[in-house]
Amino acid sequence: MDTWWLWLLAATAQFAALLGRRYCGVKLGAVKVRPDVETQRRHRRVLWFAVPAFACVYAAQPVAESAARLNNGFIGAASVVLGLGGLAGFAAAGWAAVWVFRERTPNTESTSPPDA
């Protein structure tokens, strides 16, 4: 299971592609330099999920190696939990990236328009 570096390389390529696309868009004048408030909130939500997920995935590899070295099932279970937590965090970050949160306003239930 020495494929952790592939996952790290894939994550780095994703971030580099995102930064490169944004840089090229700014240079060509195709995107705004400052995103709107809702986009900034969405980016913060993604970071709140992605950073702990990245830490979990990064920590799972040494924990799994120590579990194999010590032949300890409990440490092995901890590495599985860390890996699954990382995957769940990345799924939540992806969901937060595409999910649009709308503020609820009072008295806006679905009602039919008044008859004229």
51-82: pLDDT as tens digits: 899 899 888 888 888 888 988 888 889 999 99
Query: How is residue 30 written in tokens?
Result: 């195709």
Under the banding of pLDDT at 50, 70 and 90, the label for residue 96 is confident
pTM, two decimals, is 0.56
DSSP state of 33: S
Question: How distant is the alpha carbon of residue 22 from its chain centre?
Answer: 18
pLDDT over 70 for what percent of the chain? 73
Q: Kindly list the domain boundaries of the chain, sorted by start residue.
A: 1-33, 37-100
* 3 state SS of 61: helix
